[in-house]
Chain A
């Protein structure tokens, strides 16, 4: 038994959790070996023949959470990374853009939990001790609000790269993978000759009469209001809530507020608003769905860092970091842009954005000088109060 333990310890020292070389044949052997080793050692540990330290080292080396192995789930945990997102196109696109490459590299599959990773749900999941997701497709400010309270795993920056995203968007508990954002579309039939060009025009219902739509959960709407009121794009934070809310209330009579993408979409497509704030990555779809009648304005668009965060105690353990690293690679970034409209956050990818998508990608050469960047630190700390203040102002 001791000889066997020694051999396994040696194996664990050799495999120190770094990414295995992309050599398919060895991969299959490694995987099989790992599986069997783990199953044997789980049994041995339970029967008292393997000491805890060695067992933990083995598990750690193969990147598998202890609980998953003990639950007999070694196979499942070793084989899959679970992504928690919102389903729909997001599921298909992440699968093709990142999942395929990840599986090719590591032999692990990608599974989706499409129930939507809202902060409250993440908190509840971690508090309950039954963590079933490895990575959540959330916002970078989630990392600031949930990280310090012990609900997230820190990002392993020896696997994930700090340089493959914009400066300031690689935080301790989350890293930005894509940028979505807030921009607006306007009705060309209503304003054909004199199109609106910035948020000041958006908030000017005298010069540009008609209904408006804004995001109900404050994010983006507050910044737009401040910019409309004259605040410079790089001087937005900390947000002057009173000033922003006064501006918001000034067009309250003419405003509708959307809480989900489908509402934003339907308000524009059904002609209920003359200018609608939308998630910038849906801009192209909306232009198509309205047969070109509504046009996207990227000037002063707000870049929002969408981020991957890892719930504490995730089942696949440290192998999720490899998944995140795969998502940062340029091919994955460009594939996400093509499929989902989400702009790359990896500066290496900016120059490679295809010609026909440059109008719609906020970090393309065409747009990158016009955009404003969201501050996840401010939103992480003040988001809750900001949302409530916004709701109070609009209701």
Chain B
């Protein structure tokens, strides 16, 4: 076994198929397009310089980051409580919850955005009911603004947050918490110092997945934001398809890429990513 390790670990054999697929059928053209950020319309760093000059670009980036962070926080937080409830109740209730979770997956974005507008719009069900009861005089602006975007996005992301958390919670032995309390720790102590760290892999997976998915979102924000909440993914799409400023689009995409990679790098400084993602000790 020792001599084997010094050449190539056999694990690479099964890493290879996906790696080869991505490198041969994806990496090339992507790099080609991202390279446009340095060459279109003129060679140089002009597109990147625009970030410093243009207020608007910075605003769009900040809006995106802000919304994605809030969405991730709420989705993962709420997702955690759902997953926690699911592993701590009986099989029947768990099945019902799982069904409801799956059912919410099926709604296409068109139906979702319509439902939200129907429910929380100015003339929607909620506002209509509240006005009829007499609780409010003016409709509350839930939709067609940033709040609407957040509601729509969090709603979409919660199942994506729940499932990875479920995955990691299910493998925790329930007796551990009992043991901790028997040893004298309080409920919250047991949770914070025993349970939470054990669910860290699920938490990291969940956070990563939700954050990265949120970055790429643009249909929901475009519709639920009333056209006023402009996010990077939509802006990139407009530059590619309408204004033909491909250099700007490539620059923003490269920025997103570097941003996420930087975030991963930061995370790896605070925790051993390999142990979070799973690694055997040698």
Contacts and interface: CB of A to CB of B under 8 A. Distances in A.
A118 B241 contact: yes
Interface in A234-255: 252, 255
16 contacts: A118-B241, A120-B244, A217-B242, A255-B228, A256-B227, A256-B228, A258-B227, A271-B123, A272-B123, A384-B244, A387-B238, A388-B245, A391-B230, A391-B235, A392-B54, A394-B227
A292 B251 CA distance: 48
A120 B240 contact: yes
B228 A395 contact: yes
B223 interface: yes
B63 A395 contact: yes
Interface stretch (B95-103, B114-122, B168-176, B257-265): B114-122
B88 interface: no
Contact of A383 (B114, B228, B243): B243
Interface of A: 118-121, 123, 145, 211, 216-217, 252, 255-259, 263, 266, 270-272, 383-385, 387-388, 391-392, 394-395
Contact of B114 (A121, A266, A391): A266
A392 B230 CA distance: 9
Interface of B: 54-56, 59-60, 63, 114, 117-118, 121-123, 144, 222-223, 226-230, 235, 238-246
A130 to B, nearest CB: 14
Contacts of B245: 384, 388
Nearest to A145: B244
A272 B120 CA distance: 11
Nearest to A253: B228
B96 to A, nearest CB: 33
Given A272-B144, A387-B238, A395-B63, A266 B243 contact: no
B251 to A, nearest CB: 14
A395 B244 contact: no
Given A391-B235, A392-B54, 9 more contacts: A119-B242, A120-B246, A257-B228, A271-B122, A271-B123, A385-B243, A387-B242, A388-B56, A391-B238
Contact of A121 (B122, B228, B239, B241): B241
Contact of A395 (B54, B114, B121, B230): B230
A147 to B, nearest CB: 13
A387 B241 CA distance: 12
Nearest to B243: A384
A384 B245 CA distance: 8
A119 B114 contact: no
A313 to B, nearest CB: 19
A257 B59 CA distance: 18
Nearest to A146: B244
Contacts of A270: 117-118, 121, 123
B249 to A, nearest CB: 9
Contact of B121 (A145, A258, A259, A272): A272
Nearest to B144: A256
B229 A395 contact: yes
A120 B230 contact: no
Contacts of A263: 223, 227
A272 B242 CA distance: 27
Contacts of A388: 56, 239, 243, 245
A119 B244 contact: yes
Nearest to B231: A395
Given A263-B223, A395-B56, A395-B59, A384 B242 contact: yes
- Most chain A CB within a 10 A radius of its CB, from B55, B123, B244: B244
Contacts of B59: 392, 395
Contacts of A383: 242-243
B229 A272 contact: no
B123 A395 contact: no
A145 B240 CA distance: 14
